[in-house]
Structure formats: C-alpha cells, structure tokens
Structure 1
Amino acid sequence: MDLQFTPEEQAFRAEVRAFLQEQLPAALAAKVKAGQRLTRADQEGWHAILNRKGWLAYHWPREHGGTGWSAVQKFIFDDECALAGGPRLVPFGLSMLGPVLIKYGNEAQKKHWLPRILNGDDWWCQGYSEPGAGSDLASLKTTAVRVTDETGDHYVVNGQKTWTTQGQHANMMFCLVRTNREVKAQSGISFVLIDMNQPGVEVRPIRTLDGDREVNEVFLTDVKVPLENLVGEENKGWTYAKYLLTYERTGIAGVGFCVAALAKLKVIAAKVHKNGRPLNQDPLFAARMARVEIDLENMKTTNLRVIAAVAGGGVPGAESSMLKIRGTEIRQEILSLIRRAMGPYATPYIEEAQYEGYDEAPVGGIDEAATAAANYFNYRKLSIFGGSNEIQKNIISKMILGL
C-alpha cells in the first residue's frame, strides 16, 4: 500500500534521490541509520549542503529563500531524506522562528534574521518551557520589564527556562516572557529574541539517562534585550507562540522518519528467527507490524492534507495536534517493535556505540542492537515535548468538537 504520484512527481523523486546519493556524506548517513549521536559539525554541514542547493527552507515562501515546492514535493523530499539517512534539520531557527518572523516580524527583522538562519550564522534555541510551566505554558513566570537607562530603552529579563534542547550550542534564543501581570495569563506574554552570549545568561546541562546533554536549563538574570528584538506587539506573544507550536507539532510527527524506522524494522524482523523461522512470519508480531504500517499510511495522507492546506500561507490548526499524537505513537510503536524483535540482545546499554568509530562485533549478530535500548528510551519523550499528547487531545476536543 502506498501513495500514488504523477510522472512529474516521480521525476522529482528521482532528482532528490540523485542529489542525496551525490551530496549526502556516506559517513553521516551511516551514523543516522545506526542511531548514533550527531555532532554540531554534522548538523551544520548538512544544513550548509542543503542551503547551497537552495533546498533548505523548502517550507518558506519563495521571496524569502524558499523553494516554491508543492505539498507533494515537500512530502517526497522528507520521505527520501529519511530513507537515505539524512539528519533531521535543527528546527528552531528554520522551522519555528523563521515562519513566525515571516508572518509577524517587521521588515527590518526579516531582512536581518532570515538570511542568517539560512546561512547558519546563528544557532537558535527555544525559550518556552519553565519549571511548572510546560504543557501549561501560559503560566510562565519569566519576566521582561521595560526600562530606560544610560544605554537607552530596553527590556530586562529575569527567569528560568528548562528543557532547552541544544541550548549548549545556541548563541540566540527566541523566548516567551511575561510583560504584563495585570491581565489574564495569555494576554500578558511577549515574544523576544535574546542574545545568549551576554552577561546574565547561564546554561546548565540536564543529563539524560544515556549520558547526553541534549537538554538544558537556562537561567536569565538581568538580561538586556533591545526593543527592536520584540517580535510583533508587546503582550501579543501568545498568538505568535501558538502559531509556532503548530509548525513544531506538525514536524514532530516525523512521517519520513517513521517510514525509515519501519524499513529498519522489516529488515530486523526478517533477520531474527523465532521457533526456527523469521520473526516476520510469527502471526502476532506480523499483525503488530501490519497494524503500524496501516496507521503510517493513513498518517501520510493526513500529513499531505495539512501541508497542502498551509501551502498558501494558512496556519495548521487542530490537524497539527492530530499529527503530533499519531506520529509520536506510531514512531514509539515502531521503536518498541524493534527492541522487542531483538529480545535479550537489546538489553545491554553500550555507551560507546552511540559515537562514530564504534566497530565492535554486532551484539548477537544484529548491527542495530547496540543502540536499540538507548534510542527506545530516548524517544519516549516524543509524546511529551511540543505539548504532551494529553494536552493535544484537549486541543482537538475544543477546536473540532467544541467541548
């Protein structure tokens, strides 16, 4: 079962495949397929390759450096990149801040920041979640007070952000701050851009179970933010935050990565034997594989509908929440089946296997076994970040069912 494409779309798929074969570094693709950790240089290198080709900001309008691709072309590109082992692009500047600036930023902000996102001059992180304000984001407490001193007019920001993904690399943060405490929570929030390389900004790592520091805490103490770094209007930041989150949630669905993970699962299930025959011939396991593949095909169609709906500048609505829920559930189910297929060989946690250069004999003769447990546990986060799946169900019930 698969989607049908026109001859023109098939030709575009062939073009993408040829580009990936020529330009995607083999060592980088191997790391992605093995589930190993990527370095900052890995991610910046792939970003630069796509930018040189003009295929980086394929979801931006053409006038700002986008491609003008159709919804189907965007779908094909994501699909082929994932299957080839292309890394997930760092989304914070490209897929989150960029669309917000294009829709709500002033001309000076677009002229300054958008080219820098494309060129990789800035590494952005997201200052949304706080201790006590995760899915209940509107309760955030980080404050921004407008002051005038000898240096001029600016905001002074104080507070704490958490779960700041890749904040250890960032030189810039787009941040939600409270600028009015006298109105209801959602009405007193502003959206500002903060230079991370200044006094008062402290980044502390949060070590995850696999020893990585992918996420961080960020402490902001009397941090100065120029007035020109306010995006849109003061106290209107909740509108911009919601707009950004619809793009984040749509991306979290990760259709292409689900397709690649399913392909890996099929290889493993054909390789591993149970009771003298391949695991993919076991009725119960084969039924679970079939179920998740059917769910994935359905999600592909929904994903295309959402992409097509926003192609003209629209905003994904509750559909982005639907994609986020189903996409994360499907991806977690596939990773669970991969781990289950390996049985006891997936049990050992081998930290060295997370890094390039690991060349020990495959655990139990299965190449993917060394990273299976780490990837399974790491991606339990998918149903939490970007707004937990429980919160997404509340959004759907309110926006679609009117409950």
Structure 2
Amino acid sequence: MKPLRVAQLGCGVVGTEVVRLLNEQAADLAARVGTPLELVGIAVRRPDRVREGVDRALLTTDAEALVTRDDVDIVIEVIGGIEPARSLILAAMKTGKSVITANKALLAEDGATLFAAAREYSVDLYYEASVAGAIPLLRPLRESLVGDHVHRVLGIVNGTTNYILDQMDTQGAGFNEALEEAQALGYAEADPTADVEGFDAAAKAAILAQLAFHTPVTAADVHREGITEVTSADVAGAKEMDSVVKLLAICERVPEENGRNGRGVSVRVYPAMIPRSHPLASVREAYNAVFVEAESAGSLMFYGAGAGGAPTASAVLGDLVAVARNVVAGTTGPVEVTYAELPVLPMGETTTRYYIQLDVADQPGVLAGVAEEFARHGVSIKAVRQEGMGEDAQLVVVTHRAPDAALSATVEGLRAFPMVRQVASVMRVEGDE
C-alpha cells in the first residue's frame, strides 16, 4: 500500500518528540498500521531555530497550505492555544483530513465545534494526549466504558501543582520555595499561572466531564480554585488529621432523589484534604492519577506520568496508529455525542465537607456559639478539637457533607462572630465519607 502522509503543526518539546518517535519506530509503526507513515511537512513559526533530529527540509511557515495539501492524509496539531489552532484544524477537516491534537485549551473551550466538524466531514478527531500525558484515560472513557454508567471521575491531573504540594507535605517547604524548585526542575513554567491557579486542571476536568457524562461542558463551567492560597498551616492541619492536601479535579453526576440519570453534573477543581489511606494521597512528585467510578465496572484507577515531551508524544503516536488504521480500513472512530444535555450545577449546590480552623477567645460559651452558627446554616458538625493557648484557643471543626453555599455562609458568619479572633484555615475535605 502507498504510505499515509502526515503533516504536523508545531515542533516544540512535544512536537520534536513526535518526530523522533516517528523516525525511530518507522518499521514498527508501518507493521501496526499496515502501511508506512510518512511525515511530509512541519509548520513552525521560526524555521531557523535548531531542532535536534528534525529535517529542516520539512519545515514551513505556511501552516494553512500544509494542512490543506491534497496529498496529506492526517494532521497532528501540537501548537496549543485557541487560534490559529482551531482554524487550522477546521481547514484540515474540511479537506478530508483526520486530526490528532493535544490541545486541551481548545477542546475545553470549543470542543463542540470540532466534534461537529468531524461528524460533518466524516473524519476522525483523536485527543488522548490532551489529558494526563501518556496515561490511557480518554479512550477507556470514550470506548471501553461507553456501555456503562459513569458516576464520578476524581483525580490529580496537574503534575506541577502535585509536585509543589508534595514538597510542602514531605519537606516542609513553603509555597514559594516549592514553586522555585519546580521551576528549576522544569516541572513549572517561568509563568506558572496556568498550573498554580488551576486553569490547566479545569480544562482537563471539562474534557473528562464531557466524555464521562455525554453532556456539553466547557472550561468556563468548571468551578476553579488554585493552590496559591495554600499555606504551611493548611498542610500542618492536614497532617494532624492524618491527611494530605492535593489539587483535585472532581466530575460527578448529581442524582435526583428518585431517578438514575441525574439532575445535573458538578465539575470543579480545588485543593482539598484527603486521608493518607486514600490511594491518591500516595501520588508523589509530578505524577498524575485518576479514579473513574462506574456502575458496573466499579472503581478504576489510572496512574502515570501526566506531562512531559516523551509521555505526551507517546499518547500522540497511539492516536496516530488508531487513526491511520481507520484510514486504511476506510472508516472512522467514535465521535463524541452530548445527547444527555445535563446542566452544569453551580458550586453552591455541590455537597462537600469543610475543615475550619479558628483562633478564638478561650472563655465559656465560645464552643456553644460556634455550634449555633453551624446549626443556623443547617450544617452538621462531624468532629471538633479545641486546644488552649493562654487567653486564646485554637478550635478545629470538621463538618459532615452539606451544600457548599451553606458551608461558605457558615464561614462568613464565623468571621463576624465576636469571640472569633481569626478564621485561620478553611479547606474542603474529600475522600472519606
């Protein structure tokens, strides 16, 4: 058979690794696909830049001309961002090319447009590399579990923040110190905003929720909190509870009181305490791990390297083989459908638990007054610990599950309580109730 011709958009860290793997594994890839794969062009902005192992004759600055060439069969997009990536992908699809992308930001913002184009032009859109690097996560959701009923997806999907929080827990580092170390090791960018403020994790959560619940979810729908406000006191408080702080992405179907399909979905990203006995607590350094809870399959855990050039390129190559096989067979793979159309519920309606640490006056009636504030908002207390400190005391309260709006209102009420000197720490608790 004649070779399948591949065009690539972008040649940064991931793109260079994709080229290397295509060259090094050419014979194996041809055997797996049933025909050779030939890289015929790479669109870049700076063709004069040195790229080790990349044939400069393949480089071009005219990305649109490359993706619309008549002799190109498949397009790989690894440039990232919204534009020009979206326009180039749509142009490729319109001219009959299947597309592999690692672009989580685009999929989370406007995946619906890309999925609709894939259906309209009868081409593939594969994107395993957009979430959790080399971990095979999206394809099981998209294909293996398509006959099941997924209830919840819970996990650590950002390696940078996991490394920072791990250093704060195991080494006693402060946030800034841990961030500087992450940057020195290449885990964090010079501008770490996308990671530490939760934007990266929120985009991934939107993609996971859309696949798991067959309903449209964008990054704007995701409640997002980063880790910049996590303090050493928060980490120490978690240790006292035999817990650890992790930035979690949580996607869950919120059921009706009577009914199976649910009244909506909740999608959120925030730092939370989880018990050290929970498998996610043992995920160290820059690794990722995700739990999927399904009705028939039960609990499944996916673990591995969630970022980096080589792991992400591995996921791209896996998609490339799948798409190439479809091209050889004259067919296409599954295209996402959002038939469920479930609403994304606001954070205030989501039930969770709070850990609250208060600095209070050490005098009679304080505990009763604090308990009354919780009762006023319908929040049940699970555990209380009080420790005297001279004329003051430290009061730690852990709640049962309650709507987040009620929990938040309770905290605001405590801030105004005369005998509360300071609300020293507030953090959600997940994983043990």
TM-score (norm 1): 0.26
* TM-score where L is the length of structure 2: 0.24
Give the structure with the larger helix fraction. 1
Larger Rg: 2
Is the strand fraction higher in 1 or 2? 2
